[in-house]
Structure 1
Amino acid sequence: MNEVVAQLMQHRSVRSFDPTPVPETDLREIVAAGQMASTSSNVQAYSVVAVTDPALKRELSVLTGNQAYVETCPVFLVWCADLNRPSRAANTYIESDADVYADSAESFIVATVDAALAAQNAAIAAESMGYGICYIGGIRNRIEEVSTLLGLPSLAYPVFGMCVGLPVQPSGQRPRLPVEAVLHWNRYDADGVFGPVAEYDETMTRYLRMRTEGRKSTPWTKIMAEWLTRPNRLHMLDYLKNRGFLKR
């Protein structure tokens, strides 16, 4: 196992941070590393809002579901899918009667994937520098208010947040599905995953029992059943359409 793979295999979410600020030079390096991620057609359809203002982080911690570490982390990065910048930049070369497809489903996918790829590059860079990170999907809980708070334009939306800072204590590492559950050879084998998934149920049951000192031991398949039957952020479709996405 080489050093890069070893680094990747050590990933864990960090939710307890030292208050020491992340130097701007480090943050720029982290984001620059994110920019080197693959991007569809070189569109680079993402932007990052680095939030360091304590009052603003406090507001965001409430909007993300009262997650305290959004407030206590030294810097909170909001990763946005951004088709506003390429659209505005291209206006000089677009004929007034030309169809523009920034509002298409494919363009939305491109921007969302671009943001995710860049963020993961940045996460790896941050961890290699000794920082800890935690992704915050709760940024979409009250996404309209977050967008207003951060001044996001049309055709831009916050995909997720990311806490960044020096960890103050080690975090546990959640086990992942066996490779056999996600790796298929030549054709998708829907039935072949059941054995590895059953194995993972046992792994997660042991992990949760240990992590919670016996208070919880829910198998992964039951957790997935609860997740799939729970209405979650159903406001997102209307929000995205109002922001100019997913029109066709």
Structure 2
Amino acid sequence: MSDAVNETLALLMNHRSIRAYHDTPVSQDQLASIVAAGQMASTSSNVQAYTVIAVTDPELKSKVAKLAGNQVYIEQCPVFLVWCADLYRLKKVTESHLGDTSYEDSTENFIVATVDATLAAQNAAIAAESLGLGIVYIGGVRNQIAEISELLGLPELVYPVFGMCIGYPNQETGLRPRLPMKAVLHMNGYSREQSVEEVKAYDTTTKQYLLERTNGQNDATWSQMMAKRLAEPTRLHMKEFLKGKGFIQK
């Protein structure tokens, strides 16, 4: 295998979301390896501002699934990970070293915690796939985020960024086409024209992909799908919830 397409790149380029799982359990050793790989992700100033909650109890998974939009694969997967941005730990362990002023509730630290959790989760996803497991991210944990936070006992300055189903795949899925590289890779500065023009070819690609995937039932382009998404109010409760949890105060 050449350097241009090594095993790691092949694994990354073969990523697909898995929404059906065998009942084969994920072992504690596998889970530990997956989370350990997540912990080795880059982290801003080594703050490691995240916590991951592994939900394995069937009753608890069922409750989470209902709150996350009745997504049955949350119940089916052996392990459901809830990746949380966590500034609570940082606040508590630094209190004795600080004076009267602290900025754990700043917008910048909110971004740091969210990015830290995301980087760790993606490392974990790759680790899981390297073990023959499949994953799918679940943004639906933010649908009823206050209820899920209460269910999982999340304190102030902790919020669930997303969930992640993990298990042995029980389906074959195709690769979803991505934007042309020129749409996302700009050299030495942002090109407005390049960013927009490259989508035209992608619209054709996604239309054909959907026609094949739905047996001719859906021929929407990516632009049309994104317009529909932007036209619908989505999780407008997030700002109030995050402020109520102590985030983005400064």
1:192 Cα deviation (Å)?
Answer: 1.2
Q: Note the 1:28-47 alignment, pairs <5 A.
A: 28-47=32-51
Matched, 1:49 2:53: yes
* Secondary structure of residue in 2 paired with 1:120: helix
**Which one-letter code corresponds to 2:224 in the other structure?**
K
Partner of residue 229 from structure 1, selected from 228, 231, 234: 231
Alpha-carbon shift at residue 182 of structure 1 (Å):
0.3
Where in structure 1 do 4 or more consecutive aligned residues deviate above 6 Å? none
Q: CA deviation at 1:195?
A: 2.9
SS in 1 for 2:135: strand
How many residue pairs end up in the alignment?
246
Gaps of 5+ in 1: none
Quote the Cα distance in structure 1 between the aligned partners of 2:78 and 2:230.
34
Q: Which residue of 1 aligns with 2:117?
A: 115
Structure 1 residue aligned with 2:22: 18
| 2:142 paired with 1:140 | yes
Partner of 2:130: 128
Q: TM-score, normalised by structure 1?
A: 0.98
Question: CA separation in 2, counterparts of 1:194 and 1:119?
Answer: 30
Aligned partner of 1:242 in structure 2 is 244
Cα distance in 2 between the residues matched to 1:10 and 1:122: 16
Shift of 1:92: 2.1
Show structure 2 runs of 5+ residues with no match: none
How far apart are residue 196 of structure 1 and its match?
1.7
Match of 1:68 in 2: 72
Instruction: Specify the code of the residue in structure 1 equivalent to 2:55.
Output: V
The alignment partner of 2:95 has SS state of: helix
- For 1:11 and 1:26, locate their aligned partners in 2 and report how far apart those are by CA, in whole Å: 19
Give the CA deviation at 1:189. Answer: 0.2
1:168-189 Cα deviation digits (max 9, x unpaired): 1212221100101000010100
Which residue, out of 82, 98, 122, partners 1:94?
Answer: 98
| 1:2 CA displacement | 1.1
- Match for residue 83 of structure 1 among 68, 82, 87: 87
Percent identical among aligned pairs is 58
Give 1:20's aligned amino acid. T
Report the equivalent of 1:177. Answer: 179
Aligned mate of 1:159, from 152, 161, 169: 161
Letter in 2 for 1:232: T
Q: Write the distance in 2 (CA, Å) between the matches of 1:155 and 1:106.
A: 13
Task: Return the alpha-carbon distance in structure 1 between the equivalents of residues 115 and 138 of structure 2.
Answer: 16
CA distance in 2, matches of 1:125, 1:188: 33
2:53 counterpart SS class:
strand
- Alpha-carbon RMSD across the aligned residues, in angstroms, is 0.7
> CA shift at 1:194, angstroms?
2.9
